[in-house]
Structure 1
Amino acid sequence: MNLHQKILLLSLVVLASGCDVLNTTDAEGTRGRGAKAFDPYSSSASGAISLSLLQFKGCAILPNGLPVSAGSLNLPGYPSECIHLTDGVPLGEPRPPTEVLTVTPGELYFLREFTAMDTVVNEHTDLNDRRSPAAWIRNKSLFKDLDWSGMTIGRDEWRALNNRGSFQRETLYENAAWMLSDDDALTLEVLDADGNVRATATYKRKDFLAENSTTGRTRVSWATLGLLRPRYPNDPELQPDPDYGGLLHLTGVKVSFANSTNPFNTFRMPQLNGEGVIRVTWSLLPEQPFLFPVTFMPEPSREASCYKLDADGLATTERVPCGFGLKQKVSVAKPQNGKYFMPGDTVDFRLSLQDGDGHGLHPREALPTFNEYMGGKSNGFSYFNEFMLVTFRDASSSESGFKVVGPLQDLQVGYGTYKLPYFAYPVTSEPFYYLDPGAPYLPRGGDVAPPTQWSVTLPENAKPGTYAIFVKGHRSFMGERLNRLDPFFFQVGQEKPTVYPGRVGNCQLCHNGVNSLDNLHHGLSVDHVEACKTCHNDETVGFLPDSIHRLHMSSRKYKQNKADCTMCHLSRESTLRPSIQVCNSCHLQSHGSDYFDLKFERFQNTPNSYGNCAQACHVSTPPTQHVLPRQ
């Protein structure tokens, strides 16, 4: 292809995609995107605060899963008793909610996320009957009045839940008329305690970037967790895994639109004090408004629960009111030679979590406890939350911790083994959690305060280069819900920095401005997109090539030629790693059931579905229907 042809092709991509491909004025290595005069993702310093509204079975919930009380308000249609997700599964009996959703009067807000879900647990237990879950979805769920015409069975697949042999089988229901709509809208109204509308704004559904089940968004499905692998394709006698603790059947409808592409569509929270309500009316359910009781808390009324920092950025004992936002800071102790660490050295570092105004969210030596988080006493900082992950299917904000990897130049996707060509701590897919997911259920686990100082020992054969501490955090404060994933670098074996392999990229062609990657999902800048593979290296958290392909192939906003691998793959080598996991991300049941057994082999076994098919059949026959990089 000559230069003229390449320019013509790029022009066609711009026209087809709607992405402002040629606008590369944003510096992708900085926090906060959008127009310089109005940066909607800079929290306290921004032109507007992002607002997330969550609802479960008719009740507004906080991001920790606890339901919100209507207080003294008389809200027809709002339940007086709510399910507490924190009761675990199966779901407990409804009881009066007690939590409060606070917002700041006088602040500009914009709707960044609207998510509502209905589900039943262990009601549909016949693994060979897909009709009954579909009937509940269409006729009994809180979303029964949507237009379900045209609904079909989509993906029906198995996924590993862990590396101990437990699996999940899930049937996705797709193509209903309401799912395919893109001309509907959400009307948001802020009402005072007397029911008077004091502010309003309308948001088009097509202006939200994310509504994809891959990222935990809109999802209509029936899933069974805790199964052993089937003996053969279409095995009707599926068996429970005795080590999982019993089968869990989840039938759910989740409607979720997130990440506004037009955050400049703002409304001012009215100057009120006390109780009120935010009412969201979806044009597809005009007679079924979604209610979110709120408490207006003026800024002077905020409790001084954050900490003033000293000149070194460490928390003092002086308390100050918290602001919006989340900053994550890491201080790495100097190596012995003052320049770089050596193989076998221990890397000591200290963590400081702050709001957007630079106030500490925690004391100098300790992070909040799990019980403080669940009790609303963690200044909004969030931990791994199994309740939200399993039942609410919340995939983006269910864990806080860190991972240490390096050197950067050796990072690559896992190909069916944990024998990685680079150092990783921990070596498996999950990060190191500040609080282990099991900790709250151990004696005193909920009252344990994790430290702010951590140590990781490098292996004796650590390769030279640049290493990174990736810090992952989540915070919810006054209606704002943020995810952050930040890298902090140190050198091993040499002073000269090294860089990522450069096998994939170009994300900034579409992900720029307010839609930059560090404003989406986990909050990792596009500069570090190749680091995603360090956690997403198996199916338990989402195998990266599988997840990325599914996300874009099924997105109505990604209108490029889906067979053109050159959009994201920068090297030919990166496209020549076909595997069952990769190919099935776009081509359902590639090879049918010919390699059925490989799907259920554990990640560390060989061969498995993550393995490189190119080393076997496809070494001389790379995919012929795809446009691959030449080099």
Structure 2
Amino acid sequence: MTMLQRLLFLSVVVLTSSCDVLRTEDVEGTRGRGAKAFDPYSSSASGAISLSLLQFNGCAILPNGEPVTRGSLTLPGYPDQCQNLNDGAPLGPPREPTARLQVTPGSLYFLREFTAMDAVTNVHTDFNDRRTPATWIRKQSRFKSLDWTGLTIGRDDWRTYGPGIFIRETYYENAAWMISDDDTLTIEVLDADGVSRVKEVYGRRDFLAENSVTGRTRVSWAIYGIARPESPGDTTLHQSDSYGPPLYHTGVKVSFANATNPFKSFRMPQLTGEGVIRVTWSHMPDEPFLFPVNFVPEQDRQATCYELDADGLATNKTVPCGFGLEQKVRFQKPSNGKYYMPGETVDFLVSLQDGDGHGLHPRDLLPSLNQYRGDMSNGVSYFNEGMLTVFRDTSSSESGYKVVGPLQDLKVVNGTFQLPYFAFPQTSEPKYFVEPGLLPYVAGYADAKPATRYAVGLPDTAKPGTYAVILKNHRSFMGERLNRMDPFFFQVGQEKATAYKEDIGNCQICHNGVNSLSNLHHGLSVDHVALCKTCHFDETVGHVSDLVHRLHMGSRKYDQSKADCRLCHLNRESTLRPSIIACNGCHLEAHGTQYFDLEFEEMQKTPNAYGNCAQACHAATPPTRHLLPAQ
């Protein structure tokens, strides 16, 4: 590590149980719209590489859903056959795995994520029976030895899965192990003979996402593909005409993610060939989690990445890949050479690179879906239905782009699907590089390589201002798993730049340093937190007002006054748009079943659960127990 890197690391403030411990001298500590986030996880440019370890039903898996083989090692307790998440749901029979989890000997790593899940599909199929899934969870699952004392049935959550199609998920909560905060994870790297070469211990509080509030750790029983209940207390399962037989999912998922202490690193031993990473959780001391690995020295990496030319575009010369993920967009110049006009087409080229400035793909083409599934995409990741539905993972999907603007018009949508700004696509999801659902219908689609060049037509009515191409991508390489979401700006109708409307902010008070938003979930910088609303505006991906309130109000790390709206809301107007969904983040069933039907209405119909309750009641009489901005 260089002296500069050491100084940068010494400037990091590690999060404790309170976020109000930051005493920075730079702009990160200021209040308001936001600040440049310091990112200690810059891959090969940083002091250590982040390591993600994933396991499903006893088998290590790669982030692409493929199970990892034990190779020639004898590993008691590690299955000979594994279920493959890419076989689809319901889960198919186990088969011999072939994937390899590779790591780099001699490199410093730190544990960024440990996620293990045990799940069954289409086993517990009684719509009204919550006891049997709970019994399987406590008595038969991989996690049966945990302390399940105090387990209760929590919220019963209905979510839209498509037009007229819903998911019903019942959460089990409050077990003793769930609310623990002093348990540990012991990481050991073993050689092929089972000898421990390296050891490090992480506490639960070393991770930002370490309990069920974030949705990563979750114990639940879910039904996919059903119609809505007809009334409160309706005990009849209503089939959806457009889905087919429902999918039943019972699962226990334990996930500690987003490390807050990059100092706690370990050096991968100088080994070649096979080995094992063993994780021992203090709550399950006699049942360690095993992750077979292959040690691949840096000099032995194949030359599968590409050198870039002076313009940052991939050449034909191949080189070994490095860690990290960087995103670039190159715009074709507008007709007048300065800014695009309404009705003009925005033409741009996407380039994905590693942290060492190497192209992850040729100039004109991205990897195919089969290359991604076969771990031959240089780590570039795509939407994965199995990881999303069965593994409940939202960190390795939705790679694509969205074009939005102008920035000053970006607003939270309340009670309507009509966006008050330009967006392509208008759906909440981005324009995928690899479109979900096309595989069964388009011959050869899994082998087709998406283009890197895209064209989006602006409407004739496009308002002047600053617009953005938002890139959202994921990469997994040599144990490292990264998510990135970056905006790239261009002008429409005028040279003068415009900015986001300052409705919300202050995120950097807690989210800076190792806790930057850049290092969480999608990898979006705190500077551009306003862009969250351009995707999270409907029931498909979750409404931003629901997600943000529920996450922070339920977190034991967020110890600010939960009645003080002024910390995040910068003006009064932004607080006077309450809805059933927004308020339920804190006040579950605030109106009982009075507005039951509204929770199942589509966004195109108003009023609905996302509608503006202020129009009816709460603008004239704002909640008296909440502190709102003066104006």
TM-score bucket of the superposed structures, by smaller chain:
over 0.9
String of CA shifts for 1:114-166, please: whole Å, max 9, x gaps: 0000011111111111111111111111001000000111111211112x111
Q: Which residue of 1 aligns with 2:150?
A: 150
1:206-238 deviations in Å (ceiling 9; x for gaps): 110013556541000011111111111111112
- Shifted more, 93-102 versus 103-112: the winner is 93-102
Query: Given the alignment of the two structures, is residue 546 of structure 1 paired with residue 546 of structure 2, yes or no?
Result: yes
> 1:242 offset after TM fit, Å?
2.2
Match of 2:110 in 1: 110
Structure 2 equivalent of residue 323 of structure 1: 322
Report deviation, 1:20.
Answer: 2.6
Q: Output the CA distance in 2 between the equivalents of 1:65 and 1:16.
A: 33
| C-alpha contact 2:17 2:556 (8 A) present in aligned 1 | no
Tell me whether 1:202 sits opposite 2:201 in the alignment: yes
Structure 1 residues 15 and 214: alpha-carbon distance in aligned structure 2, compared to 1, 3 A threshold: closer
1:619 Cα deviation after fit: 2.7
Confirm or deny: 8 A CA contact 1:278 1:292 kept in the other structure: yes
Deviation at 1:301, TM superposition (A): 0.5
Any conservation in 1 of the 2:69–2:292 contact (CA below 8 Å)? yes
Partner of 1:11: none
Q: How far off its partner does 1:19 sit? A: 3.3
In the other structure, the counterpart of 2:388 is 389
* Aligned residue identity for 1:120: V
Deviation of the 1:25 alpha carbon: 2.9
Aligned to 2:624: 624
User: Which residue pairs with 1:532 in the alignment?
Assistant: 532
Question: Partners in 2 of 1:420 and 1:567 — Cα distance?
Answer: 27
SS in 2 for 1:440: coil
Once the two structures are TM-superposed, the CA of residue 438 in structure 1 deviates from its matched residue by 1.4
Q: Is the 8 A contact 1:418 1:428 kept in 2?
A: no
2:16, 2:205 within 8 Å by CA — same for their partners in 1?
A: no
Aligned with 2:618: secondary structure? helix
Q: Which residue of the partner structure matches residue 290 of structure 1?
A: 289
Write out aligned runs for 1:235-246 (5 A).
Answer: 235-246=234-245
Match of 2:416 in 1: 417
Q: Residue type matched to 1:181 in 2?
A: S
Assess if the C-alpha contact under 8 Å between 1:233 and 1:596 holds in 2.
yes
**C-alpha deviations, 1:74-113, integer Å up to 9, x for none?**
0111111111111111101111111100000000000000
Contact 2:213 2:555 in 1 (8 A): no
Equivalence for 1:19 = 20
Match of 1:188 in 2: 187
Residues 31 and 506 (structure 1), Cα distance of their counterparts in 2 relative to 1, 3 Å cut = closer
Report SS of the residue matched to 2:518. Answer: helix
Deviation at 1:16, TM superposition (A): 8.1
Equivalence map 1:208-607=2 (5 Å): 208-213=207-212, 215-441=214-440, 442-607=442-607
Whole-angstrom distance in 1 between the partners of 2:520 and 2:601: 33
Partner-residue secondary structure (3-state), 2:551: helix
**Separation in structure 2 between the aligned mates of residue 221 and residue 317 of structure 1, nearest angstrom:** 49
Distance in 1, Cα, partners of 2:173 & 2:552: 16
Q: Tell me how far apart the structure 2 counterparts of residues 86 and 339 of structure 1 sit (CA, whole Å).
A: 46
Letter in 1 for 2:173: E
Stretch of structure 1 that moved more, 116-125 or 272-281:
116-125
Amino acid aligned to 2:146: L
> Within 2, Cα distance between the matches of 1:440 and 1:31?
39
Q: Give the conservation status (yes or no) of the 8 Å contact 1:112–1:259.
A: yes
**Contact conserved, 1:26 with 1:512, CA < 8 A, in 2?**
no
Quote the Cα distance in structure 2 between the aligned partners of 1:365 and 1:565.
48
- Counterpart CA distance in 1 for 2:384 and 2:501 is 33
- Is the contact between residue 212 and residue 551 of structure 1 (CA under 8 Å) also seen in structure 2? no
- Could you tell which deviates more after superposition, 381-390 or 439-448? 439-448
Instruction: Tell me, yes or no, if the aligned pair for 1:346 and 1:457 is still in contact at 8 Å.
Output: yes
Q: Could you say if the C-alpha distance between residues 26 and 253 of structure 1 is closer, same or farther in structure 2, counting changes exceeding 3 Å?
A: farther
Q: CA deviation at 1:420?
A: 1.2
1:69-88 to 2 correspondences below 5 Å: 69-88=69-88
With 206-215 and 496-505 compared, the bigger mean Cα shift is at: 206-215
For the 8 Å contact 2:466–2:498, the answer to whether it is kept is yes
**Separation (CA, whole Å) in 2 of partners of 1:339 and 1:24:** 38
State the 1:448 CA deviation. Answer: 1.1
CA-to-aligned-CA distance 1:320-359 (integer Å, 9 cap, x gap): 0000000000011111111111111100000000000010
Q: SS at the partner of 1:617?
A: coil
Q: Give, in angstroms, the shift of residue 29 of structure 1.
A: 5.6
Q: TM-score, normalised by structure 2?
A: 0.95
Note closer, same or farther for the CA distance 1:454–1:99 as it changes in structure 2 (3 Å cut).
same
Q: Could you tell me the percent identity over the aligned residues?
A: 67
**Given residue 314 of structure 1, which amino acid in structure 2 is its aligned partner?**
L
Q: Could you tell me how far apart the structure 2 residues matched to 1:590 and 1:266 are?
A: 46
Tell me the SS of whatever aligns to 1:127. Answer: coil
Distance 2:625 2:159 in 1: 27
- Answer yes or no: is the 8 Å Cα contact 1:188–1:281 preserved in 2: yes
Equivalent position SS for 1:511: coil
Q: Which residue of 2 aligns with 1:93?
A: 93
Q: Distance in 2 between matches of 1:93 and 1:523?
A: 35
Q: 2:137 aligns to what SS in structure 1?
A: helix
CA distance in 2, matches of 1:24, 1:424: 38
Cα deviation, 1:42-69, whole Å, max 9, x if unaligned, reads 1111100000000000100000111000
For residues 360 and 352 of structure 1, what CA distance do their matches in structure 2 show? 7
C-alpha distance in 2 between matches for 1:49 and 1:182: 25
After superposition, the Cα gap between the structure-2 partners of 1:173 and 1:392, relative to the gap in structure 1 and judged at 3 Å, is: same
Query: Could you tell me whether the CA contact under 8 Å between 2:204 and 2:210 is conserved in 1?
Result: no
Return the alpha-carbon distance in structure 2 between the equivalents of residues 59 and 438 of structure 1: 27
Gaps of 5+ in 1: 1-13, 34-38
Specify whether residues 366 and 215 from structure 1 end up closer, same or farther in structure 2 by C-alpha distance, changes over 3 A only: farther
Q: Helix, strand or coil for the counterpart of 1:318?
A: strand
* Residues 585 and 397 (structure 1), Cα distance of their counterparts in 2 relative to 1, 3 Å cut: same
Asked whether the equivalents of residues 32 and 519 of structure 1 are also in contact (C-alpha less than 8 Å), the reply is: no
The two structures, once aligned, show a CA RMSD in angstroms of 1.4
Does the 8 Å CA contact 1:191/1:199 hold for their aligned counterparts? yes
Task: Return the alpha-carbon distance in structure 1 between the equivalents of residues 451 and 214 of structure 2.
Answer: 31
Secondary structure, counterpart of 2:315 in structure 1: strand
Pair 1:344–1:371, CA change in 2 (3 A): same
Deviates more, 1:532-541 or 1:614-623: 614-623
3-state DSSP of counterpart to 2:555: coil
Structure 1 residues 179 and 213: CA distance shift in structure 2, 3 A: closer
Alignment size in residue pairs: 611
Measured after TM superposition, the shift of residue 22 of structure 1 is: 2.9
Shift of 1:539: 1.6
Q: Helix, strand or coil: the match of 2:523? A: coil
Q: How many angstroms apart in 2 are the aligned matches of 1:278 and 1:16? A: 29
CA distance in structure 1 between the aligned counterparts of 2:567 and 2:602, rounded to whole angstroms: 32
Answer 1 or 2: higher relative contact order, Cα 8 Å, separation at least 6.
2
One-letter amino acid of the counterpart of residue 576, structure 1: L
Distance (Å, rounded) in 2 between the aligned partners of 1:16 and 1:310? 47
Kept in 2, the 8 Å contact 1:209–1:261? The answer is yes
**Contact kept in structure 2, 1:366 and 1:450, CA below 8 Å:** yes
Matches within 5 A, 1:131-170: 131-162=131-162, 164-170=163-169
Aligned residue identity for 2:20:
C
Distance change (3 Å), C-alpha of 1:574 and 1:262: same
- Counterparts of 1:395 and 1:244, CA distance in 2: 22
SS at match of 2:386: helix
Aligned pair in 2 of structure 1 residues 26, 440: CA closer, same or farther (>3 Å)? Answer: farther
Q: Aligned letter for 1:465? A: G
